[in-house]
Amino acid sequence: MSLSPETRARIEQILGANHVVLFMKGNPDAPQCGFSAKAAGILKGLAPGFGHVDVLADPAIREGIKVFGQWPTIPQLYVGGELLGGSDIIEQMLNSGELHQVLGLPAPDRTPPAIEITPPAAEAIGRALANADEGVVLHLTVDPRFNARFELKPASGHEVVAEAAGLRLHLDLASVPRARGLRIDWVEDARGAGLAIHNPNAPPAVKSMDVQQLHDHIIAGTIDVIDVRPAHARAIAPFPHPHEVLDEDSRERLEALPKDVPLAFLCHHGNSSRQAAEYFRQLGFHDIYNVEGGIDAWSVRIDPSVPRY
């Protein structure tokens, strides 16, 4: 495939306007593939505000950037106009410290995180290690959404090694700050048995709010309401107070709000709003509420003039 002069000029303009640019699928807060999520998660910890291009929204750039840099896959990271590579190379450069150097940052902090593993959890992990192939070690990854994952694979030699309960955990540099204070336990209940991981660095869980509490917060001016209902539902029963609407046009702007803004999510009965609230929690917002019962409960308990449907 050849690269048109117009697409080449657009790529060069993007690179000229941004010292650090990630060509990816989706955006840093909502990546659309695992490789893009890995690359964006690394960069968010090192270079907040880095430039990014969603190639899914621009087919010409999606194919053109592959030709421009002679690199066949997405994502692609450019620094100072030079191609560094895809997600695996970005991860390798992170762990070796080379990425910090390229970005002009101080050498990375390799202090192992303090991690607590309870005796039952250590015993369960030890049983898994006893059956592992020779030459593999226990890796712990904590992704940008604070999901923790164990994996058995060979060591690269650049990981940070944390010791807890007689176990050695190998972590990549992106996971280290997210793993500080991690507590790993083994639980058995009606749902079965397995590891339970508590991460104090993760945003707090979505909290519930009833319509009376929502009303009081609105009167006090201490909450922002986001209506996640589709347009036809909002037309039938408009929410009678100032609020935001979550749709494709507003999503990016709302995702860029300060992470400490109190947000209450509202829908018809409180189900789809909880899903939206959980999505924003995973973006790092930490004062998030779901309005239980939704606009229907608002009509029943607060304002009967709002139509029920």
Question: CA-CA distance, 46 to 43, in Å (whole number)?
Answer: 5
Are 298 and 276 a contacting pair, CB within 8 Å? no
Sheet (strand 167-171) strand order: 148-153, 137-142, 167-171, 160-164
296 phi/psi in degrees, rounded to 5:
-65, -45
Catalytic residue among 148, 171, 267, 276: 267
Q: Tell me whether residue 33 is one of the annotated catalytic residues.
A: no
265-284 as b/e, with b when 16 or more CB fall inside 10 Å?
bbbbebebbbebbebbbbbb
Angle at 245 between CA 305 and CA 240, to 5 degrees: 20
**108-141 burial: b if 16+ Cβ within 10 Å, else e:** beeebbebebbeebbebbeeeeeeeeeeebbbbb
- Catalytic residue numbers, as ranges: 267
